[in-house]
Amino acid sequence: MKEMIVEKATEMFLKYGFKSVTMDDIASEMGISKKTIYQHFCNKNDLVEATTLNLFDTISCGVDGIREMGKNSIEEIFIIRSFMMQHLNNETASPFYQLQKFFPKIFSCLRQKQFQKMHGCMHDNLVKGIDNGLFRADINVEFVSRIYFTGLTGVKDNDIFPAEMFAISDLTKQFLEYHLRGIVTPKGLEILEALLEEKSFKSV
């Protein structure tokens, strides 16, 4: 039952927001009493923490699986982006804005975990890309891996990129292109432009 509660809560939090969804909402949606939820979670804060950690673990495992596929560095980045967008319901800004505003400690912990994971993945991706001649050998891997995280999280700032002006899916795609064009070699550029023209990448 605990796992089922976490799964349903995650779905609802991502759709409506971490603040907007109440324990009553979750209980009603599952057809159970609120008391049943409190048998597994002391309060909403505990449930929010459990859902964010569960979501992080799910995405981390998925990313690891993609990295094991043996794709080139450029294609790997696009596949990971598509995977994350699908699992985060296209990651509208509202749920995570609410998480940051109303559950700051949980948000801070999640952000640190995200940085550690993304930094490690991007560091390996860059090294592989350099070794394969797709990324310039003169880039500072440590800097680029960190600026990638900063940029990808920065475009989700609703104050700077308001939702009524920018769709988050378009923002992340544009950021990836912006990022990659700055570090690819001529060989890498050919692969990047070919991927940008593929329907499978245009549609996500």
Domain 44-202 coded CATH 1.10.357.10: yes
pLDDT tens per residue across span 2-38? 999 999 999 999 989 999 999 999 999 999 999 999 9
pLDDT tens per residue across span 127-146? 999 999 999 999 999 999 99
- State how far the Cα of 39 lies from the Cα of 41, in Å rounded to an integer: 6
Entry pTM? 0.87
**Closest Cα to residue 48, out of 92, 111, 6, 97?**
6
Residue 12 in tokens: 């609802």
- State how far the Cα of 4 lies from the Cα of 71, in Å rounded to an integer: 34
Q: Report whether pLDDT(200) > 90.
A: no
Report DSSP state, residue 140.
-
Mean pLDDT in residue range 43-65: 95
pLDDT tens per residue across span 31-44? 999 999 999 999 99
Which residues in 56-89 are b (16+ Cβ under 10 Å) and which e? eeebeeebeebbeeeeebbbbbbbbbbbbbeeee
